[in-house]
Amino acid sequence: MIDLLYFDSDIAVCVKPAGVFSEGDGKNCMPYLLSLELKERGIDASVFVVHRLDRETEGLTVFALNEASAAALSLSFQNGDAVKIYHALCVGVIEKDADVLCDLLFYDRGRGKSFVVDRERKGVRKASLEYSVLRRFADRTLISVRLHTGRTHQIRVQFASRGHALCGDRRYGAPSEYGNKLCLCAVSLSFTHPRTKERMSFEIENPYK
């Protein structure tokens, strides 16, 4: 079952497991699983997706439980009011303690991958993030990441293109000795409640100590 951290008549905040889709109607999709969990708690509501995590990514997500809340939360994510912080474990030692990474990304739907490209053209979008190093190990680095843009596989491809693929991310070139489970987790989430306008913040423990 889903780890449900908070819910009311407007929203539900939960932890998405790795391997589960953020959207869709199937039994391996968050709306279906969250609906089951809410029914167990006496809430029979529609579930609206307002932001997404990659299937392989785990961590905090918020869902709307009515159309008005869905519209308000979607706008919150679009205009930057909602903030997600990720922790990631990268291959190799990242030397800079903190930096801003800016790239042009192209998502190839046929291959299911994003690529860093050197010029703007149709389908290419600007991508930006900021990171800080939390801890360095002998052959890997734990980082905290805040996205400025929300492109497909953005964190994964931006670090992989610099020789620091996320551990377990075989799609973007992480060596097999770093495992097969993507080490990327949304550990912090803050947003404005769509009805009460209260600022809400949630955190979960970093899983990559």
pLDDT at res. 121 = 87
| Residues 112, 49 share a domain | no
pLDDT at res. 209 = 72
pLDDT at res. 143 = 98
Q: Which residues are catalytic?
A: 54
Within 109-194, residue ranges assigned H as helices are 154-160
Q: Nearest 5°: CA angle at 88, between 167 and 98?
A: 120
pLDDT at res. 150 = 87
Residue 98 lies in a domain: yes
Per-residue pLDDT tens over the stretch 29-40: 999 999 999 999
Length of the chain: 209
| Residues 98, 68 share a domain | no
Output the CA torsion sign for 148, 28, 23, 31: negative
Q: Give the end-to-end CA distance of the chain in Å, rounded to a whole number.
A: 25
For residue 37, give its domain range.
3-83+189-203
CATH number at residue 113: 3.30.2350.10
Residue 208 lies in a domain: no
- Contact status, residue 117 vs residue 124, Cβ threshold 8 Å: yes
| Residues 16, 79 share a domain | yes
pTM for the whole structure: 0.92
CA distances for 24 relative to 31, 102, 186, 192, angstroms: 7, 31, 20, 25
Residue 46: DSSP 8-state: -
Structural domains of the chain, count: 2
| Residues 73, 10 share a domain | yes
User: Which residue ranges of the chain lie beneath pLDDT 50?
Assistant: none
